Structure 1
Amino acid sequence: MAKWYVSAKRADFAAIGAKFGIDQVTARIIRNRGVIGDDAVNEFLNGKLSDIADPALLKDGQRLVDILAQKIADKVKIRIIGDYDIDGVMSTYILVKALKRAGACVDYMIPDRVKDGYGLNVHLIDKAYEDGIDTVVTCDNGIAAIEEIAHAKELGMTVLVTDHHAVPFEDIKGIKIYKESKADAVVNPHQIECSYPYKELCGAAVAWKIVILLYRKIGIDEKETMDFIENVAFATVGDVMPLTGENRILVKAGLKSIHHTTNIGMKALLECCNIEAENVDAYHFGFVLGPCVNATGRLDTAKRALELFLCDRQEEAMRIASELVALNDDRKEMTAKGVETAVEIYERDNYEKDRVLVIYLPDVHESIAGIIAGRIREKYNKPTFILTKSEDGVKGSGRSIEEYSMYEEMCKCSELFTKFGGHPMAAGLSLPQENVEPFRQKINEYASLTDDDLVPKIHIDVPMPVDYVSMRLVSEFSVLAPFGKDNPKPVFADKNLRVSRMWVVGKNNNVLRLSLISSYGTPINAIYFGDIESFFDYIRQRFGSDALEAAQRGRFNNIVLSVVYSPKINVFRENESLQFEIQYYK
């Protein structure tokens, strides 16, 4: 059973509420998100695009633009090389459109996930050289391509890097020695010498800032760069960047823009996903539209997604968009089967004792290993590696929990890998097939995870009686949006809620509705989207089968619950009412 924790951060919530015209509960949630001080609160609530830093602060930003402007003037061939995920597609789109607007002779290349792998490689450099390309511009990649860029320079090519990933380094006796690139300019806010104040930009945001500098230099109205703000927002959410500081401002602006989008491809994708443009929020970016774009890079080629956004004919856009949606449906089905197989192996092969899960699924497409790892991690709350068979051995992806630094632990058995990389929460690796079982054994031998580490932790914003919740308060929570990484939807907790009735609804019988009564006698409507059978089993064990049957019939029973909940405003036939979505119970 998960442990519940209440955020205990302190501040004068009454004073913050009075100053900014918000409820004390809203003020407390903002403090829970790490926002401290009047200026930071004001930016969180009211931040505008005019508040973000000048892109000229980016190290090498002006140098890159100076070189690029000269290349455009010289009419040399320029190639954009992006990445096969949503951030790479949006970055490439922004640069291709902007450079064409600036008069550049430009084309693009997005690597194939399986054939080419991530980012620049020697093959792509050689192909560019054969094609007579003078200048390569990277986006959402390039910072780690030290050898590949050196090769391009030996061929006499110009290389301009725009990226947002960590700068590679070697650890020599505890000292980080950062690797130096031979690129003609490198723009990445993570560089130590970079004075840009906000470091968590996605690749598309970095590309967009370069476009601002380029337009500024060659005399195109900077207002035209706002044409790309929806793409920046889409990539920021889709690449799971923190929705803090500048990213919040960019995503807010991008959502306003997409509500009136003029991009034919985006309109087509919205239509194929049955979403009205004016209703798009961060959820749709992250969980509906984004996966359709990412599915092309996983199962086909991300060039299809890029072609969608570059498309200028509605009929063609609808055709491509429908293909993207179908690919994502295939990806969902493949993922579900992969998860099911992984669970079978876990239960069959004595994985309960493993602190770190290493599960080999040879028949799973390598592009969805990371998604499956994430699902298994969520189910068992254990660091998880899913390995798949590839052309040259075994490839895999890992997803971790907060208590386990995945990359550091992998370094302890690095001799088993032919290639690996990552960070505390996720990793990728390649290894010979004969090393699969040794990897499982060693990574578990080194793991120092305790039983407590493996217990899921539920973080509660405020222990708040349901009686305190009002329509006005729930409406006010909209100032906390957009929600996503590092800014989750607020959750609350209450106890001693009596069940007066519960019943299953939905065409698939997968939704549980409950009538509850608070300790103050207030009746409330609640809903639960989780595992209903597990919920019923818990009620039987705790209160007895008779109590469960009585509750299902709307009769008196002895069931009393504590719940973690999220309040919402439910609209049914133009009537609004409060609804409490139960996240967890005990």
Structure 2
Amino acid sequence: MKSNWKVYTKKADFKAIGERFGIDQVMARIIRNRGLETDEQINMYLNGTVDDMHSPHLLKDADKCVDILTDKIHAGKKIHIIGDYDIDGICSTTILYKGLKAAGADVTFAVPDRIIDGYGINEHLIDEAYNNGTDTIITCDNGIAAIEQIKYAKEKGMTVIVTDHHDIPFDFVDGEKIHKVPQADAIVNPKQEDCPYPFDKLCGAGVAFKVIKILYERLGLNPIDLEEYAELMAIATIGDVVDLSDENRVIVKYGLKHLAVTSNIGIRALVEACELEIDKISSYHIGFVIGPCLNATGRLDSARRAIELLLTTDMEDARKKALELRTLNVERKDITEEYAAIAIEQVENTELKDDKVLVVYLPECHESVAGIIAGRVREKFYRPSIVITKAEDGAKGSGRSIEGYNMFEEISKCGKLLNKYGGHPMAAGISLDIDKIDEFRKALNENQTMTENVLTPTVWIDVPMPVDYVDIKLIKQFEKLQPFGKGNEKPVFADRNLTVRQSAVIGKNKNVLRCQLESEHGKLVTAIRFKLDGQEIPEVGRKISMVYYPDINEYNGIVSIQFRIEDWRYV
């Protein structure tokens, strides 16, 4: 698919920034491209530590929340956590449970069943808690949109605390957004309009940790013990794909470092089951190996199994549970591959191909993988994509968006057609009646105002940089930019008038391109592109422009520079 190439044009005194922080000017430009302007912001980005994280007391209702919790703990009241079935919900539930247990609370937890309960707190879970003598419910990674459900719990005389990080729900009244929040006893969510917390992109586990941190302070518990939550926060932050900026960078950097010495038996067993080395875990391994195993429980079984793995103190039990999680993830992969192919074929061979917002109905597909398949469809066609499956009480769907299309807002405009919905600008979940699917699809497409520019993927180039400028010293500096992810993408560069001297498709599956390119100044470099998927191969002798990321390749003790091709075109 053809893409737009755009170069960041943000200005600054890059030489001065480089001198102040001891970095190359190229590094300074990349950092400025990430929206950082002040020395304080740049220092936090490069050198931030746990001591630089924002005070949890700045979160609206955080102290009020802990006031309630300490009163309930001292009174011996039953506290019940209601989490969520994804990686963030799993980790935030574990953090709250371990933290409240350490504080002496009489605490239990529940996780919604994806099929039976759907997302978040509901009347069934409330009734179950009430009948078990629960006095207080505390949510994590959900609750902010549960207006009626929390009203129901309050009518039963229960205390309800919400800890969440999702967008605040709203209604459109005369074209104006009117936000609405549940009538809980305390709501801890940095996205609230009147919340003074300086960073609103924490994941649910990050919010849960802030509450537990205050609880530890209030009860005089050893702050060193808070370190056991570091890797859980990092796993959730990476897995929930929140922006890796500000203190989220600190959370991930510190959490990954702490992972190597974790005392969490369950995490160690899962790393072992995935055949990884615990002292070499990166954000990639969390995002594409560990995280999917945790998520698979909530997709095909119960996320409770993942939480029990993270809570176990028996190594044999942990190994058994970890292998079960890995097996579930293999099953999840097979289902995903089967139905992703069906979804793509449906778009290509029906009237859907003319839609700018893709709504694909796969009645036989397991609803738990709808979001993953929506991501595959979006990746294939670069359009906002929603995959809907048949559910016990109608239909459920999950969507993935593209930059420039706020899926949560656009779905909200069609809210009258839906039974339930929620999410973010880039992802959303819905439930609706089956006979409303076509009307919903038409409404989304009639309302959309996307231009062709929005519907064309953009490759943002950090610095137009000749390959001649790149050396190993510069590449090693790029390590300071990690961890990479949403909000802190891996930097890419561009060079032009590169002559193709060799070009070949290699690899067991013949899906890797390997080229030798010559710069305008006569320097020969090796360039490689993975996952060709039928893409064109540059012809020997022709000149190309290339968007790339330089990497260090080590083979048989020989260290060399290798340029990873992100995109290319003929000059």
- Secondary structure of the equivalent of 1:474? helix
- Secondary structure of the equivalent of 1:223? helix
Give the match for residue 424 of structure 1. Answer: 425
Matches within 5 A, 1:102-501: 102-501=103-502
Aligned counterparts of 2:131 and 2:3: Cα–Cα separation in 1 = 58
Q: Tell me the TM-score normalised to structure 1 length.
A: 0.93
Give the match for residue 94 of structure 1. Answer: 95
Q: 1:57 to 1:278 in 2, by over 3 A?
A: same
Q: Is the 8 A contact 1:79 1:135 kept in 2?
A: yes
Aligned counterparts of 2:174 and 2:70: Cα–Cα separation in 1 = 43
Aligned counterparts of 2:403 and 2:369: Cα–Cα separation in 1 = 22
Q: Report the more deviating stretch, 61-70 or 489-498.
A: 61-70
Aligned counterparts of 2:5 and 2:171: Cα–Cα separation in 1 = 40
Kindly provide the amino acid, as one letter, of the partner of residue 436 in structure 2. Answer: N
Q: Is the 8 A contact 2:228 2:264 kept in 1?
A: no
Equivalent residue pairs, number: 568
Q: 1:155 to 1:532 in 2, by over 3 A?
A: closer
Give the match for residue 521 of structure 1. Answer: 522
Aligned counterparts of 2:447 and 2:165: Cα–Cα separation in 1 = 31
User: 1:565 is matched with which residue: 537, 544, 548?
Assistant: 548
Give the match for residue 552 of structure 1. Answer: none
Q: Is the 8 A contact 2:228 2:263 kept in 1?
A: no
Aligned counterparts of 1:177 and 1:346: Cα–Cα separation in 2 = 36
Cα distance, 1:260 vs. partner? 1.5
Give the match for residue 554 of structure 1. Answer: none
- Secondary structure of the equivalent of 2:134? coil
- Secondary structure of the equivalent of 2:353? coil
Aligned counterparts of 2:186 and 2:441: Cα–Cα separation in 1 = 42
- Secondary structure of the equivalent of 1:335? helix
Q: Is the 8 A contact 1:565 1:582 kept in 2?
A: yes
Q: Is the 8 A contact 1:135 1:157 kept in 2?
A: yes
User: 1:583 is matched with which residue: 560, 566, 570?
Assistant: 566
Q: Report the more deviating stretch, 410-419 or 50-59.
A: 410-419
Give the match for residue 32 of structure 2. Answer: 31
Cα distance, 1:29 vs. partner? 0.3
Give the match for residue 551 of structure 1. Answer: none
Aligned counterparts of 1:417 and 1:165: Cα–Cα separation in 2 = 19
Aligned counterparts of 1:136 and 1:418: Cα–Cα separation in 2 = 24
Q: Is the 8 A contact 1:512 1:532 kept in 2?
A: no
Q: Tell me the TM-score normalised to structure 2 length.
A: 0.96
Cα-to-partner distance string for 1:80-127 (whole Å, 9 max, x where unaligned) = 111111111111111111111122111111111111111111111110
Q: 1:438 to 1:189 in 2, by over 3 A?
A: closer
- Secondary structure of the equivalent of 1:83? coil
Give the match for residue 511 of structure 1. Answer: 512
Cα distance, 1:174 vs. partner? 4.5
Long gaps (5+) in structure 1: 540-547, 549-556
Give the match for residue 542 of structure 1. Answer: none
Give the match for residue 85 of structure 1. Answer: 86
Q: 1:277 to 1:444 in 2, by over 3 A?
A: same
- Secondary structure of the equivalent of 1:35? coil
Q: Is the 8 A contact 2:166 2:424 kept in 1?
A: no
Q: Report the more deviating stretch, 52-61 or 176-185.
A: 176-185
Kindly provide the amino acid, as one letter, of the partner of residue 114 in structure 1. Answer: I
Cα-to-partner distance string for 1:123-147 (whole Å, 9 max, x where unaligned) = 1111011111122121111222222
Aligned counterparts of 1:155 and 1:412: Cα–Cα separation in 2 = 33
Aligned counterparts of 1:139 and 1:409: Cα–Cα separation in 2 = 26
Q: 1:61 to 1:365 in 2, by over 3 A?
A: same
Aligned counterparts of 2:412 and 2:80: Cα–Cα separation in 1 = 36
Kindly provide the amino acid, as one letter, of the partner of residue 117 in structure 2. Answer: D
Give the RMSD, CA atoms, in angstroms.
Answer: 1.7
Q: Report the more deviating stretch, 495-504 or 379-388.
A: 495-504
Q: 1:410 to 1:211 in 2, by over 3 A?
A: closer
- Secondary structure of the equivalent of 2:456? coil
Cα-to-partner distance string for 1:539-576 (whole Å, 9 max, x where unaligned) = 4xxxxxxxx5xxxxxxxx42322111111111222332
- Secondary structure of the equivalent of 1:533? coil
Q: Is the 8 A contact 1:261 1:277 kept in 2?
A: no
Aligned counterparts of 1:118 and 1:13: Cα–Cα separation in 2 = 47
Cα-to-partner distance string for 1:274-300 (whole Å, 9 max, x where unaligned) = 221111121222222111111111111
